[in-house]
Each structure stands twice: as C-alpha cells, then as structure tokens.
Structure 1
Amino acid sequence: MLDTSRPRRRNPISLTPLIDVVFILLVFFMLASSFLDWRAVQLEAPAEAGGAGSMEGAMLVEIRPDGLRIAGEAVTERDLRDRIGARVREEADTRVLVMPAPGVSMQDTVNVVEDLADVGARNLSVIRQTQP
C-alpha cells in the first residue's frame, strides 16, 4: 500500500540544460549579428596614368582641419551640399575635385565624398596637394 502520510517529494529541476541553450543562442546571435555598419566607397582608377582630363569648369573642394572651402571660400557642410547639388543639376558631368589638407583624417574625406555622391556628383576625384 501507498504511504500517504508523508508528503511527496518533488525532484529538483536542473537549470543546467536551460543555461546551455541560452548560452548557445547568445553565441549564435553574437556571430550572426553585425555590430558595425560596413559601407564601401567605389573608387575607380583613372583610364590613363597622368591623364588629368579637362579642368575647365571643375569645382575644387578643400577639406581643411578648420573646415571646408569651395574655391577658397569657407562653407558649411550644408552649403557644400547645396552648392554642389545645384551645380550638378545644371550640368550633370561637372567635375568635382576633393583635396584634403595634410592632417585631415581619412574618415572626414570619405564623409565629404559620400555627401557629394548623395547630392548627385558622379565625376569625383580625390587629389593631393603638390609639394612646393
């Protein structure tokens, strides 16, 4: 016969399998997720080495540590986008030369190139200052 006088004892539930499953899910999502925004900027090499093309009508954008300049005139990022965008709408193949000054970070240069590409500039060139 069954002894009903003693309370029935439950088996303890082991949390080890649950912790294993949670750990596996954590590892899976860490490996499957991308925490960085990887973007690529398309750069094309010039068709001819030394063939600079026509500079007539080109716009020079200087990136300096103290700010941006178009043809020597200081501008804000918004003004840069507006002016280049307006010029590109008038003449789609306008050549835009981007010249970072020494000491300007590559990320700042890429940001300006992306901004110019966003407003429709397709004929972009990154140039460097010549040494005197």
Structure 2
Amino acid sequence: MHVNDVRPPRRTLSLTPLIDVVFLLLMFFMLASTFAKYSVVEVSLAGSGGGPVQEEARPVLLSVGSDGAFRLNGEPVAADDIRARLVELAAGQPTSVIVRPSAEARSQDIVAALERAKGAGVGNVALAR
C-alpha cells in the first residue's frame, strides 16, 4: 500500500502584528518618559559634620507642615515671601537655614522650601529630620 504523505502548505508568518507592537511600545515609552532637565539642589544634612566653621552662623528654622504651610522661626509665612523674610532676618550676618519638614509633608513642598532658602543666598541650607 502506498501512502502519500501530503503536508499542508506552510503558512508564512506575518510581521505586521510584531511591527505594530513595537511601535506601540515605542509610543508608550516616548509619552511616559520625561525629557526635561531637572535642576539640582545642593543639600547638606544637619549633623553630617561639614567643613570647619569660620564664623558663628545664626540658625533660622524653616518648618514645612503637612498642609503645605511654611513657618519661619515659628511664625507663619507665605511661600512667596520666604526669600524676602530670610534676607530680612539675616540682615547681612552669616545665617544657617535649617529646613525641618513634618513627617507628613509632601516632597514638592520640601523641595520648594529648599529652593527658596537656597535662592535667598543668606548662608548654608541644611535639611533636618
């Protein structure tokens, strides 16, 4: 008996779905990633033992509350007024600004406080727990 081994014709694989998936992934990563250049805020942690102290600096405490409120030496201050108040408190003397966030403070508010304190240019800025 003679059996013909007939194989069905082999289907070719279409690459169109693979190309679609690759383009979808490309679009996803292009839209999900950020191309902005982040600015760097230099922060020295309080008690980290920095360099030698040349002159005694007056400490100023900048607190960041959980509700986004700022307090400068215990007095409430608006976010836009932090720089002016720091310059006013420093009065030309070396000043050390200590930023102390509450445990529930948002990171955006902490960074805003650090940037404003550094932007005032009155002295060192340190982040405390």
- TM-score, normalization by structure 1: 0.58
| 1:6-17 alignment runs, 5 A limit | none
Counterpart CA distance in 2 for 1:41 and 1:64 is 20
Query: Structure 1: 5+ residue runs without aligned partners?
Result: 1-26, 49-53
When residues 57 and 37 of structure 1 are mapped into structure 2, their CA distance, relative to the original with a 3 A threshold, is: same
Amino acid of the residue matched to residue 100 of structure 2?
M
> In the alignment, is residue 76 of structure 1 matched against residue 82 of structure 2?
no
Question: Can you list the C-alpha shifts for 1:28-47, whole angstroms capped at 9, x where unaligned?
Answer: xx7xxx63231111234633
| 1:43-58 alignment runs, 5 A limit | 43-44=43-44, 46-47=48-49, 57-58=58-59
Query: Structure 2: 5+ residue runs without aligned partners?
Result: 1-26
When residues 125 and 107 of structure 1 are mapped into structure 2, their CA distance, relative to the original with a 3 A threshold, is: same
Corresponding residue for residue 122 of structure 2: 121
> In the alignment, is residue 36 of structure 1 matched against residue 30 of structure 2?
no
Secondary structure in 2 matching 1:60: strand
Deviation of 1:125 after TM superposition, in Å, equals: 1.1
CA contact (8 A) 1:85 1:119 kept: yes
Amino acid of the residue matched to residue 38 of structure 2?
W
CA contact (8 A) 2:44 2:125 kept: no
Runs of 4+ in structure 1 over 4 Å off: none
Corresponding residue for residue 96 of structure 1: 97
Deviation of 1:121 after TM superposition, in Å, equals: 3.2
> In the alignment, is residue 87 of structure 1 matched against residue 56 of structure 2?
no
The count of corresponding residues between Structure 1 and Structure 2 is 95
Deviation of 1:117 after TM superposition, in Å, equals: 1.1
- TM-score, normalization by structure 2: 0.59
